[in-house]
Amino acid sequence: MNRTPLYPLQKQLGARFMDFGGWELPLQFKGILAEHKAVREKSGLFDISHMGQVWAEGPGAESFLNGLLTNDIAALPPQKGLYSVMCRENGGVIDDLYVYRLTTDRFLLIVNASRKTADLDWIRRHRPGGVNISEQPEAAAVALQGPDSPDLLNLLCAPALALGRNGVGAFTIEGSGCVIGRTGYTGEDGFEIFASAENLRRIFQKIWELGEPRGLNLCGLGARDTLRLEMGYRLYGQDLDEDHSPLEAGLGWTVRLEKKEFIGRDALREEKERGPKRRFIAFRPTEPGVPRHGGKLSAGNQIAGEVTSGTFSPSLQAGIGMGYVESRFAAAPLAVEIHHRDVPVSIVKLPFYHK
Amino acid sequence: MKPEELRFVETHEWIAPDGTVGISDHAQHEITDVVFVELPKPGRVVKSGEAVAAVESVKAAFDIYAPVSGTIAAVNESVTKTPGLVNQSPYEAGWLFKVKADREEERNGLMTHETYQTFLKSETH
């Protein structure tokens, strides 16, 4: 099992670990509900070192990435980040990722841990001359999220406060170099900090030392999942995979069909014209209960689709879910299978949670 | 209630001498924060091993099985209002229901707290 450079520290601080696609990562510290609340009201610190960090550098990097990703990389200015998906020719999603443009010719891609090998394989296969692709060795990262995170980071790295939403830059914390993006997976203001293993251990300890007295919580994957689901953020492997297109997944806003040639464009254009076969929906059961991954979605006595992500929303104190249904059922009254029962659902517009 | 006075089953429920049933401290820890509890109706006749209640945590839903055969005599309404009681106080305020056993001896055949601890060790290794 893989362990991150922060494993020993987190173990010492009371983490309960779980297997996350071959990574031994904290499930929780104090408890999922407490950690969730801390992020919505104060701040939380997550180990995201398992995520892949891939550098694309060189004079051809912009046009290479623009041909590889669905979103418009040419329109991304230096020191900004952008969410995108990467598709196969047939429009199937290889991965969803975050692209940070540090300088004109230097990009950092943050990819899902479970997809790192497949991503690198795909990226390298298409790489032209003039672009260097490298995986960050001993990659490590944390996400500091929540309304108190700017004030907390201000104590350690005041210059990073100049970053706007999705801004990115190179900074120094306590003498340790790092890359900081004002991004996250929780829907709160916050920062993601990328550094070498050694630097990140120091940064993590410093943040914890200054943050704990102010109400900072260490957070695990349990809270990461409830927080991202309240915002409707997709999770690769559940909500996204190679059998679904970004249009079906409701991520049409990341697909810039009008830009220059990119992998998957023809298939996606055609799919857009004829309409996607499946629709991604977000819903709430009309009775108490929690939808779960794999639960059936039905329309009358017909199977309409399946729940891809479901959980209890601590902010709404109710079950929430997302999933795919065949397009012909998109307007039909639907029910979700909860604990061997079909419970009618109401369709909602994302996000589930509004500040 | 002292855990030493309780009897346990392999599905992690406990039962007190007066028929009160709940889930073990180990179980509440494993399932993470409880967010919903569904309890049986008083008067329902249940068989040992039958799923009679459900406890749902942030992570997943779990069936709760009757440790002995009998009749549901009472349920703890406060855990349906405050599900977190199951985590905070698994042996006291977080009890789930009370069952009037058909045969008092059935309880005596279940695991003692000590045997249950040994069982947990064998289960996790």
Give the pLDDT confidence of A128-169 residue by residue, as tens digits. Answer: 999 999 999 889 999 999 999 999 999 999 999 999 999 999
Residue B44's Cα: distance from chain center in Å? 16
A-chain residues within 8 Å CB-CB of B81? none
CATH superfamily, with its number, for domain A1-274: Probable tRNA modification gtpase trme; domain 1 (3.30.1360.120)
Looking at residue A260, what is its pLDDT? 86
B35 vs chain A: nearest CA distance in angstroms?
A: 8
Q: A31–B87: do the CB atoms touch at under 8 Å? A: yes
Residue B22, phi-psi category: left (phi > 0), alpha (psi -120 to 50), beta (remainder)? beta
C-alpha to C-alpha distances, A251 to A105, A109, A247, A248, nearest whole angstrom? 27, 19, 6, 7
CB within 8 Å of chain A, chain B residues 59-78: 59-61
A208 vs chain B: nearest CA distance in angstroms?
A: 24
B-chain residues within 8 Å CB-CB of A307? none
Write the CATH number for B11. Answer: 2.40.50.100
Ranges for all domains in chain A classified under CATH 3.30.1360.120: 1-274
Dump pLDDT digits (tens) for A279-311: 999 999 999 899 999 999 999 999 999 999 999
Q: Which domain holds residue B56?
A: 3-103
How many Cα neighbours within 13 Å face the side chain of B15? Answer: 29
B-chain residues within 8 Å CB-CB of A309? none
- By CA distance, what is B29's nearest residue in A? A31
- By CA distance, what is A289's nearest residue in B? B36
Looking at residue A267, what is its pLDDT? 98
Q: A290–B32: do the CB atoms touch at under 8 Å? A: no
A-chain residues within 8 Å CB-CB of B61? 290, 292, 338-339
B95 vs chain A: nearest CA distance in angstroms?
A: 20
Greatest CA separation found in chain A?
63
Q: B32–A27: do the CB atoms touch at under 8 Å? A: yes
Q: What are the φ/ψ torsions at residue A130 (nearest 5 degrees)?
A: 85, 0
- Which amino acid, A259? K
A-chain residues within 8 Å CB-CB of B32? 27-28, 31-32, 222
- Chain A interface test: which of B32, B33, B79 (most A C-beta within 10 Å): B33
Nearest to B58 among A32, A289, A338 (CB): A32
Q: B36–A32: do the CB atoms touch at under 8 Å? A: no
- Chain B interface test: which of A17, A30, A33 (most B C-beta within 10 Å): A33
A220 vs chain B: nearest CA distance in angstroms?
A: 12
Mean of pLDDT over chain A = 97
End-to-end CA, chain B: 29
Looking at residue A3, what is its pLDDT? 97
Supply the ipTM of this predicted assembly: 0.87
Share of chain B above pLDDT 90, in %: 93
Structural domain total, chain B: 1
Q: B58–A289: do the CB atoms touch at under 8 Å? A: no
- Looking only at the bridges linking them, the beta strands covering A168-173 and A176-181 are antiparallel
pLDDT over 70 (residue B125): no
Looking at residue B1, what is its pLDDT? 85
B-chain residues within 8 Å CB-CB of A222? 32, 58-59
Positions of chain A with pLDDT lower than 70, given as ranges: none
Q: Does domain A277-348 have CATH number 2.40.30.110?
A: yes
Greatest CA separation found in chain B?
40
- By CA distance, what is A27's nearest residue in B? B32
| B125 in a structural domain | no
Q: B58–A226: do the CB atoms touch at under 8 Å? A: yes
Looking at residue A211, what is its pLDDT? 98
A240 vs chain B: nearest CA distance in angstroms?
A: 20
How many Cα neighbours within 13 Å face the side chain of A248? Answer: 26
Nearest to B58 among A288, A311, A338 (CB): A311
Looking at residue B123, what is its pLDDT? 82
Count interface pairs A-B at CB distance under 8 A: 36
More confident residue, B7 or B124: B7
| B113 in a structural domain | no
End-to-end CA, chain A: 38
Mean of pLDDT over chain B = 95
| B83 in a structural domain | yes
Q: What is the DSSP letter of B40?
A: P
